[in-house]
Amino acid sequence: MIYFDNSATTACIPAAVEAAKKYMTERYFNPAAAYAPAVQLEKDVSSARAVIASNMGADPSELIFTSCGTESNNTAIFGSLKAMRGKGRVIISAVEHPSVYEAAMDLKEQGWDVRLAPVDITGKVLLNELSGLLSPDTRLVSCMHVNNESGAVNDIDAIYALIKRTAPECLLHVDGVQAFMREAPVRCDMYSVSGHKLHAPKGVGALYIRKGVHVKPYLLGGGQESGFRSGTTNAPSIMAFSAAVADYSEHRAEYREQILAVKKRLLSDLSRIRDVKLNGPDIDHAAAHILNVSFMGVRGEVLLNALSEKGLYVSTGSACAAHKRGRNRILNAMGITGERQDGAIRFSFSHFNTPDEADRAAALIEEQVNILRRFRRR
């Protein structure tokens, strides 16, 4: 098996598995309880919060735990707007993850003035276009840090400065699911992350909320997470998330180098195949772990299935939108259409991948692309 779909999810590292197991079988208490082991568990969760927050450049009090990136995004968007008086303008980039895009479309149905900020052909937000959309009544801008399909890295610090200069009361929410621990911390008002994109289990995420930003709770109940997010604390997954973050923090430069080596090898190997086009930034300006290319004359879905039969696992876009048929909204916004869009495949890597896997993957891809092109010409 060769797994090149790490933007969809990642394998848990052993340290995360052991942490989860320990807090499921030994320290399984409810941290809201009053007896000593539960009180200690609450302290352990606080320590985990501090580890994750410090790697975001945040204070632990600014971090709440959620179940996933989607919940973090929805909480940031709906919770912050619910805390405001009256409706106004909401801006998202044209290439946002479905959890942001669909939330914005729901707001539009409620009467909010929702605008889409255009991007360039790599998937990066055009600052001059965003500037033109900002107005005095703009309440929220939501923009991803790293695009999950193209690997484009937005200049969040520049976007934040632009917003505060033009519409000082406007909040900036950043979807950092693909960027956390891979890119440097940025200035913003809210920042969403997810554990399973970083070798922790599924079912845990977090949301940074800058001190002074008002967010109404999205889930009501027992008042956990300082009242921001009710529900029994998922201690096993939180401790596993902390273990994964600690591991990535210790090996960040090493992991990035390993991932880049795989990406560069695969891109070099794929250059042997004719009519292959890169979708997104060049390697020096993209997130290290994402590569999107089009194989002209081949349908991406057909190629994906052919590769899957051979044990190579890739994707044609966001796993969260894989069940939806029709055109690719992200590539459309980037101006990639027609045959080039049809043939698009996303590869995404982790430090578990190797250059040898890239060589074997490229050989499989070349074989299947040639077969599919011959079949299409008949």
Contacts of 53 (CB under 8 A, 6+ apart): 59, 60, 62, 63, 208
Radius of gyration of the chain (CA): 21
Handedness of CA 143, 148, 149, 153 (dihedral sign): positive
Catalytic residue among 12, 68, 188, 320: 320
**Residue 337: Cβ within 10 Å count:** 12
How many Cβ atoms are within 10 Å of 204's Cβ, its own excluded?
26
Catalytic-residue membership of 12? no
Contact 332, 321 (CB under 8 A): no
Amino acid found at 149: E
CB 156 within 8 A of CB 186: yes
Q: What is the DSSP string of 256-288?
A: HHHHHHHHHHHHHHHTTSSSEEE-S--GGGB-T
Active site residues: 320
